[in-house]
Amino acid sequence: MYSADIIERYNKVTLASVADACNLIVGHWTYMSCDVKNQINDARFAGPAKTVVEGLVDGTNPPSLAIDAIDSAEDGDVLVIGFVGDAKDCALLGGMMAAGAKVNGMAGVVLDGAVRDVPEIRRDYQLPVYARSVSPGSTVGRYGTLDSNVPVTCGGVLVSPGDMIVAGTDGVVVVPKAYVEQVLEEAESIDVREAEQTKVILKSGSLQQGLNLHNRI
């Protein structure tokens, strides 16, 4: 969906600058709640969102729409699973789903709930999984997938299919697809300006002199 160049540049620019650029260009903050963090490793990724929403359903169906989303994924897609309700203590993804995501070339996963089988995912797949928590509990028999390829809420942020997900040690930022190129250019510009400010700070020994260069902190 996005060129390799766009993905590469998003993976190089600082996540903080992406967040700031979204606030400037989109008009509001688009980063997820700070409890959505990488539970597996320190890996960073950027890629288009492939969305699924889970919640309470009748019966004990498996998460079929999430399974379909993984099996139909294209290289570099990011699986984003939103949840209707509170799934902090319920794993929306485990080892087998992680294996499917890895073999289908997904860049990573972002969950509005928990992940389980963490040792297995770390050992065998190294798939970046950003989640609210870790829990041994499964959705099977309790919750099911309600819809896919629709806007979902994850980490308190609306995510539409195709939005750019940028995730790293600082957290997860959602870049609406209509603003992907504008936000990237602004984020890169912020990085350049902050690098210039840092040089002034280190040379002068004054934080204020560095801040005065671009009037930014």
Q: Is residue 20 in a domain?
A: yes
Average pLDDT over the chain, rounded to an integer: 91
Domain for residue 210, yes or no? Answer: no
Please check the confidence at residue 115 and state whether its pLDDT lies above 80: yes
Domain membership flag for residue 199: no
Any idea what the Cα angle at residue 14 is, between residues 83 and 98, rounded to 5°?
Answer: 40
Domain span at residue 62 reads 4-176
Residue 96 lies in a domain: yes
> pLDDT value at position 194?
83
Residue 80 lies in a domain: yes
Please count the other Cβ atoms lying within 10 Å of the Cβ belonging to residue 35: 12
Instruction: List residues bridging with 129 in a β-sheet.
Output: 109
* Residue with the two structure tokens 């050992």: 123
For the whole model, what pTM was predicted? 0.92
CATH number of the domain bearing residue 32: 3.50.30.40
Is 201 or 71 the better-scoring residue by pLDDT?
71
Q: Is residue 11 assigned to a domain?
A: yes
Number of folded domains in the chain? 1
pLDDT tens per residue across span 34-67: 999 999 999 999 999 999 999 877 655 667 889 9
Could you give the angle at which helices 95-103 and 64-71 cross, rounded to 10 degrees?
30
Does some domain include residue 212? no
Cα separation, 217 vs 215, in Å, equals: 7
Q: How far from the centroid of its chain's Cα atoms is residue 179's Cα? A: 16
For 184-217, write each residue's pLDDT tens digit. Answer: 999 999 999 888 877 877 878 877 876 776 676 6
117: its two tokens: 């089988």
In a domain, 183, yes or no: no
pLDDT tens digits along 95-104: 999 999 999 9
